Amino acid sequence: INTRSFGPDPRLVAKLGAAYIKGLQESRCIAVGKHFPGHGDTNKDSHLTLPVIHYGLDRLNRVELVPFRKAVRAGVDGIMTAHIAYPAILGTNDPATLSPVFLTDILRGDLAFKGLVITDDMEMHAISRRQDLGEAAVRSVLSGADIVLISSHGHSIEAIRNALKSAVAEKRISVERIDESVRRIMEIKFRYGIASPVNGALPGPFILSDGDRRALARAERVNQRLSRGGILYSGDRTLLAPRKGRARIFITGSRVLRDELTRKGESGLFENFAAFRGYRPPVKGGAVLFLHVVKHDLAYVREAASYCEAAGIHLVLVSSGNPFPFALSGLARAGLFSFSDTEESVRQLGRCLNGEFRPAHGGGALFGIDDRR
């Protein structure tokens, strides 16, 4: 789940999640809580395989379900399912997406959720590598899903549509069950102005009022302030600021970060490590390489660290994702962390590197970085 979670404390996640839901839905944006009944304690990626959680329902009620209960009480309009197996609860390795125990008994029954139940992408390998997509879609609807999510535009959509139509024609799925989901979907569309309750027509072009524009401007300022305030620097402070006589090199594939750096006249920019290879720093003053990473590619960072050590270049890790996979690796002299890869977070990383503000400093012990200087 990575940086998509507010953290490991279920009560904190519940509190912040409820506030986020309120802000989204008051601004006419449908909020969706995910992934039900919990995805935070897995060590596998459901895009690639089926994660299995061996906890029972007591643990889920104490931890994983706490934020979902709060979200339902906060009026969240959507819940997305998890492609995760809970054999201690179900007695099988079926994912929660295909389980009426989770989607109907627990979510609709125990939690009293009245909104839309949306599956995670059915083409993820936790589903698609284990069974036919059409059959999986039918089982998800029978379990309680209102919307079957498919992210591609390929043949999967037609296969799932045909499977659902056949299941209704064969009375495996009742018309009443389909009508339940249609009513929920249309009620949400009417409430958010996506369709007209009179004739089902789509609304005309949305025109921002002066009040809307002022609200957007305020939100943008808040986003900038939060993104800037979330940046942390660990390690040797002297490496971050530009210093006369010392070359600064940047490796980044981010257009946003490159634009910020070039705005201040930085010229030593490379899109990837292969393009940088062969660079030799000036004899005097040395050089600092700022290596921007988003994905958890420790081998990539290790290669850069080895090269920099041999070339006498200081390495500063610039992370706009989750930095903890690099924890205690000891590969970099310093690190600049945004804990987020949103456009504004990356933009503020660039402004920090340009010397426009000083970030918070500390946390080096978490990343194997010496913070004493």
For the chain, give the longest Cα–Cα distance: 80
Tokens 């706490």 — which residue? 66
**Half-sphere exposure in the Cβ direction for 277 (13 Å, CA):** 9
Q: Is 361 a residue of the active site?
A: no
Helix (H, G, I), strand (E, B) or coil at 122: coil
Is the Cα torsion angle 199, 202, 205, 208 positive or negative in sign? positive
Selecting among 35, 83, 94, 120, the annotated active-site residue is 120
Residue 265 Cα distances to 244, 252, 255, 371, angstroms: 14, 16, 15, 29
Backbone angles phi, psi at 85, to 5 degrees: -90, 140
Return d(Cα 275, Cα 103) in angstroms, integer.
50
Q: Is 120 a residue of the active site?
A: yes
Selecting among 9, 47, 132, 370, the annotated active-site residue is 47
- Please enumerate, as own/partner, the contacts of 23-27 that have beta carbons within 8 Å and a separation of 24 or more: 25/75, 25/76, 25/77, 27/215
Return d(Cα 69, Cα 110) in angstroms, integer.
9
- Contact between 324 and 344 under an 8 Å Cβ cutoff? The reply is no
Tell me which residues are annotated as active site: 47, 120
